């Protein structure tokens, strides 16, 4: 469970109702693609049991699973069939179809080919911690995350979320940790990172299976290259790669977590309890390492003495507006800059690094996402 993580803060206005949500998701149940249907998305019982609940509660943690199926129709196959049709028309009628007619012919070709296309299925785990007001999605693709959020907003009245915002941006914090060769309390820096230049060159430097406490990395940062990915380990229990957009990738529970777990502890309930037990501690610690959250509740900033405009709703947004932002844009968090921290982190933040994800991160490699 949860090889990747994108996490959101859920609005205080939303009233968790397990029964209502289970019934609502049952109405969005997954069905396989029809003969001429390109894609199908819906919920399945997370335990994998027929006619099972769509929302499973284990120790107060809600687990759901979204399934997607899509037809694999290579562009080369479609274009070849289209080319054959265009050639037939030109040979019989002595004319070349116009742009609009070509598009109509292409749509016809697609409908002809879809029933013969192979299908590909993928699943995505969804975790809601109703007490902590936390939504966690098992994907590294912001586009897929937006799709899930949209479905939850449609299913549950009052449901609204925002990407978690932090006082210090992940990029500025990672730069400070690498520059000082000092990880935050409870964390260690592993042997993988990526740095990118913000200038026209767009130069990229990647380190894999390489010590990162070297002067060479500090020099890269001094020259303007900022970290976009950094491998870390939390409490010697969970390893992950932190991104500039506050996503976690390559998440893995380490062997120490499984020590003492007998055969009787195997199964869905145990997997959920172990995973959520670890991650429910990791996420707050990571937020704290980034200076804490930049808002006390959805749509509001914390009451901070150094900012006179940091109180009350941001832009007068209501929960519906926040939900639309989260669902349609993948970003509902207002950014703030942290005035504390080491000198380098402060310079990095003031040099253009935003606090939290100002906009949805670009999916650089969506094919690697598990859904």
State pLDDT tens for residues 192-239.
999 999 888 889 999 999 999 999 999 999 999 999 999 999 999 999
- Identify the three-state secondary structure at position 180: helix
Task: Please tell me which residue, 276 or 306, carries the higher pLDDT value.
Answer: 276
Q: Which residue is listed with tokens 């054959």? A: 84
What pLDDT is recorded for position 292?
Answer: 93
What percent of the chain is predicted at pLDDT more than 90? Answer: 51
Distance CA 356, CA 170 (A): 7
Distances (CA, A) of 100 to 93, 96, 97, 106: 17, 12, 8, 10
Per-residue tokens: 209:
């299976």
Distances (CA, A) of 142 to 7, 175, 313: 11, 23, 25
pLDDT at 362 over 70: no
Q: How does the average pLDDT of the chain come out, rounded?
A: 80
The answer to whether the CB of 129 falls within 8 A of the CB of 276 is yes
Distances (CA, A) of 44 to 27, 59, 130, 266, 268: 11, 20, 20, 21, 15
Mean pLDDT of 248-263: 83
pLDDT in tens, 161-200: 999 999 999 999 999 999 998 999 999 999 999 999 988 8
Task: Please tell me which residue, 246 or 114, carries the higher pLDDT value.
Answer: 246
Helix H or strand E segment including 128: strand 118-129
Helix H or strand E segment including 344: helix 343-350
Highest mean pLDDT among 51-55, 66-70, 288-292, 332-336: 288-292
What pLDDT is recorded for position 265?
Answer: 53
Distance CA 40, CA 34 (A): 9
């Amino acid at each position: 469970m949860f090889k990747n993580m994108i996490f959101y803060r859920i609005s205080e206005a939303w009233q968790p109702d397990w029964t209502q949500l289970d019934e609502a998701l049952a109405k969005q149940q997954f069905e396989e693609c029809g003969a001429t249907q390109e894609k199908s998305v819906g919920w399945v019982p997370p335990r994998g049991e027929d006619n099972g609940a769509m929302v499973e509660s284990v120790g107060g943690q809600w687990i759901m699973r979204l399934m997607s199926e899509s037809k694999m129709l290579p562009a080369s196959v479609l274009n070849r069939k289209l080319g054959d049709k265009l050639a037939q028309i030109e040979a019989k009628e002595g004319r070349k179809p116009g742009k609009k007619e070509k598009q109509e012919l292409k749509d016809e070709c697609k409908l002809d080919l879809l029933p013969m296309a192979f299908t590909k299925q993928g699943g995505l785990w969804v975790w809601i911690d109703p007490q902590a007001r936390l939504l966690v999605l098992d994907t590294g693709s912001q586009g897929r995350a937006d799709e899930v959020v949209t479905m939850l907003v449609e299913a549950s009245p009052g449901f609204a979320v925002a990407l978690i915002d932090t006082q210090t941006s992940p990029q500025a914090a990672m730069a400070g940790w690498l520059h000082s060769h000092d990880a935050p309390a409870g964390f260690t820096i592993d042997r993988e990172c990526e740095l990118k230049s913000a200038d026209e060159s767009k130069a990229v430097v990647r380190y894999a299976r390489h010590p990162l406490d070297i002067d060479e990395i500090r020099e890269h940062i001094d020259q303007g290259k900022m970290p976009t990915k950094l491998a870390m380990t939390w409490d010697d229990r969970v390893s992950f790669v932190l991104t500039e957009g506050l996503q976690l990738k390559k998440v893995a529970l380490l062997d120490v977590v499984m020590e003492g777990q007998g055969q009787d502890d195997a199964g869905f309930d145990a997997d959920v309890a172990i995973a959520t037990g670890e991650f429910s501690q990791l996420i707050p610690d990571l937020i704290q390492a980034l200076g804490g959250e930049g808002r006390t509740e959805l749509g509001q900033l914390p009451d901070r003495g150094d900012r006179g405009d940091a109180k009350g709703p941001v832009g007068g947004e209501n929960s519906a507006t926040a939900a639309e932002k989260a669902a349609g844009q993948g970003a509902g968090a207002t950014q703030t800059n942290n005035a504390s921290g080491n000198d380098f982190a402060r310079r990095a933040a003031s040099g253009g690094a935003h606090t939290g994800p100002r906009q949805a991160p670009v999916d650089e490699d969506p094919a690697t996402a598990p859904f």
